[in-house]
């Protein structure tokens, strides 16, 4: 498999590629490959694209907003666990807290 370097990509195109990647929940690289295949009429049901999609979903493709929301939810749970410690006869397990972004 070859690698290809593309120079001179303007900001508008980069923004559109990033938007497409978010909508498809693919990496930017997988999105570009998918768009090239579509544009060249080479798009067919491809297990490779689905594997890339699945891997991307597991490999940390969260936006900053999603990361912040997750950390906020974890911190709220931490507060619930802390509050449980104050109930007589209850003791919540100690967990690491994540800083809010």
Which range marks the domain in which residue 77 is found?
62-101
Q: Choose between 48 and 95: higher pLDDT.
A: 95
Do 49 and 34 contact (CB within 8 A), yes or no?
yes
Say yes or no: 47 and 66 in one domain: no
Q: How many independent structural domains does the chain possess?
A: 2
Task: Give the phi and the psi of residue 47 in degrees, each rounded to 5.
Answer: -60, -30
Say yes or no: 49 and 76 in one domain: no
Say yes or no: 66 and 54 in one domain: no
Q: Is residue 33 part of a domain?
A: yes
Burial of 38 (0-12, 13-18, 19+ CB in 10 A): exposed
Q: Is residue 3 part of a domain?
A: no
Say yes or no: 43 and 72 in one domain: no
Say yes or no: 19 and 49 in one domain: yes
Q: Is residue 5 part of a domain?
A: no
Q: Is residue 1 part of a domain?
A: no
10-29: pLDDT as tens digits: 999 999 999 988 888 888 88
* pLDDT score for 15: 92
């Amino acid at each position: 498999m070859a690698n290809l370097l593309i120079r001179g990509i303007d900001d508008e195109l980069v923004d559109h590629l990033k938007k497409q990647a978010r909508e498809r929940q693919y990496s930017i690289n997988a999105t570009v490959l998918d768009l090239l295949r579509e544009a060249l009429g080479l798009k067919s049901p491809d297990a490779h694209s689905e594997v890339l999609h699945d891997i991307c979903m597991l490999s940390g493709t969260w936006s900053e907003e999603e990361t912040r929301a997750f950390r906020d939810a974890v911190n709220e749970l931490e507060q619930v666990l802390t509050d449980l410690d104050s109930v007589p006869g209850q003791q919540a397990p100690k967990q690491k807290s994540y800083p809010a972004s």
